[in-house]
Structure 1
Amino acid sequence: MDVMVQEAAQAGDDTVVLRPTMIYGYGGSEQLPMMLRASLRDGVSRYLGRGLNRYGNVYLDDLADAYLLALEHAPAGSVYNLATDECDFRRIAEAIAKLFGFGGAVSATEEEFAQALGPLPAAGLGSNSRVDSTRARTELGWAPQGPPLLDELVHGSYRRIWGPKGITVTPGQSTA
């Protein structure tokens, strides 16, 4: 897809590729709600193996700022990776466990992780997703200001939206 966008730029179209990492904020994203739902459903927050795999992340408002800056300043055909920080998955799982009041996160085997999240999401979340956003910062003047991922999970919008509301979750209990 990136190549098609760059080829379009060579043909005269004003195109830019933006590659955000794990997007978070306002209680949503693609990956985090999947992990949150699995944790609520099972009464446990999991990470794969030792949980040392690292994932870049970007706050939603900072991503929006990058899009605006790219519209205003990016040369056609440019490619930008977007991450404000990165975090290992064990710390993300621990923050989810803290959010839900679990005793802590637990290590899972590949099979357990895939069973909890599904094979494809588990493969993606069990790997590293590290990017360098220096180019976006220097060429576009991108200066992310959003809260760090773990703070947002434990104290921010995820606490307001996903946090305890007088519901007690027991492992194996359905939350539907």
Structure 2
Amino acid sequence: MRILVTGATGFIGGAIAKELLHRRHNPIGLARSASSADALLDAGLDVHRGDITDPESVTSAVDEVDAVIHTAFNHDFSRYTASCREDGQLLNALARKLVGANKTLIAASATIVGRTGSPITEQNAASEQIPRSSSEAFLSYADDGVRTGVVRLPPTVHGDGDTAFIPALTALAREHGVSAYPGDGSNRWPAVHRDDAARLFCDAVEQGRHDARYHAVAETGIAFRTIAEAIGEGLGVPCERIPNDQAESHFGWLAMFAALDNPASSEWTQETTGWAPREMGLISNMRNVDYFNTPSL
């Protein structure tokens, strides 16, 4: 299949593109700049020039492909709500373009779209009160024949080249000289290795279900304190509790994520698709990948 991949130069999208090539598909990477286009060509991908902030520039590729995998997202958390809204607008534009085409649209979402405290499952719809739920509104186009699906990603997608939450927490620990956790640190983060997540995206686009929610979850919930302890061990700094009312001053924009209790199940995903995680878990990966030897972010 010819498959348009947005975010193909990114941490997750790059792994998806590599896996698609391994499966003998023909991925076409979305490139905003000439340098991104060159990187995609060097990786063996065809290129479509466009920008996720300009939906028409992305939807113009739809007629030339058999499916779309959308992973690009603006990770400027100072405008997180606006980024979520824009992501939803792009996905709706793509889905409208696909009506009547008998093609598949798979998008990245997040396990944080649902309830907290007990494991979120694939049967739990996204809460409209959570900004990231905008990325799942397009699923309704399944009623118009579009094969729609989302792959919900945990807060921690880890592996070589990670630039997200674990490096951000590591940078904070290095800056403050302490690896901190809010409250008692019992709140849980699910996790997955990026290569396992990439395989699930590829399974989802190949299987082409309608209105499907998949969970790329290898570990249902790791206590945040355990993550903080691994960072402290890796940097050689103490791991300490901080009161909840001091979390924002310590964690900054990461405070709301550091306090998340977001366990998630992938039981339905594994039973339905045959997908199963193969790679090492988060804590082992943190000890075996260069999370601590060089400054993060």
Could you tell me the TM-score, scaled by structure 2's length?
0.51
Given the alignment of the two structures, is residue 96 of structure 1 paired with residue 226 of structure 2, yes or no? no
Query: What is the RMSD of the two structures over their aligned residues, measured on CA atoms?
Result: 2.0
Please give the alpha-carbon distance, in whole angstroms, between the structure 2 residues aligned to 1:55 and 1:161: 18
Given the alignment of the two structures, is residue 17 of structure 1 paired with residue 147 of structure 2, yes or no? no
Number of residues of Structure 1 aligned to a counterpart in Structure 2: 162
Given the alignment of the two structures, is residue 40 of structure 1 paired with residue 174 of structure 2, yes or no? yes
Matches within 5 A, 1:78-157: 78-85=212-219, 86-102=221-237, 104-118=238-252, 120-154=253-287, 156-157=288-289
Q: Which runs of 5+ in 2 are unaligned?
A: 1-133
Paired residue type of 1:153: M
Moved more, 30-39 or 108-117: 108-117
Assess if the C-alpha contact under 8 Å between 1:74 and 1:140 holds in 2.
Answer: no
Assess if the C-alpha contact under 8 Å between 1:23 and 1:29 holds in 2.
Answer: no
Percent identity between matched residues is 24
Question: Which structure is higher in RCO with an 8 Å CA cutoff and minimum separation 6?
Answer: 1
Could you tell me the TM-score, scaled by structure 1's length?
0.84
Please give the alpha-carbon distance, in whole angstroms, between the structure 2 residues aligned to 1:136 and 1:29: 26
Please give the alpha-carbon distance, in whole angstroms, between the structure 2 residues aligned to 1:33 and 1:164: 10
Q: Deviations over 1:61-94 (max 9, x none)?
A: 0000110110111412101122101210111000
Please give the alpha-carbon distance, in whole angstroms, between the structure 2 residues aligned to 1:65 and 1:43: 37
Please give the alpha-carbon distance, in whole angstroms, between the structure 1 residues aligned to 2:173 and 2:137: 38
Match of 2:137 in 1: 4
Please give the alpha-carbon distance, in whole angstroms, between the structure 2 residues aligned to 1:27 and 1:95: 18
**Does the residue aligned with 1:130 lie in a helix, a strand or coil?**
coil
Q: Deviations over 1:23-64 (max 9, x none)?
A: 111141421121011011111100111110111011110000
Structure 1 residue 4 displacement after superposition: 2.0
Q: Deviations over 1:107-163 (max 9, x none)?
A: 011233211221x42122212011111111011111101111011112x11xx2532
Q: Structure 1's 29 and 143: CA in aligned 2 closer, same or farther, altered over 3 A?
A: farther
Please give the alpha-carbon distance, in whole angstroms, between the structure 1 residues aligned to 2:188 and 2:211: 28
Q: Which runs of 5+ in 1 are unaligned?
A: 166-174
Paired residue type of 1:72: E
Structure 1 residue 3 displacement after superposition: 4.6
Please give the alpha-carbon distance, in whole angstroms, between the structure 1 residues aligned to 2:245 and 2:178: 16
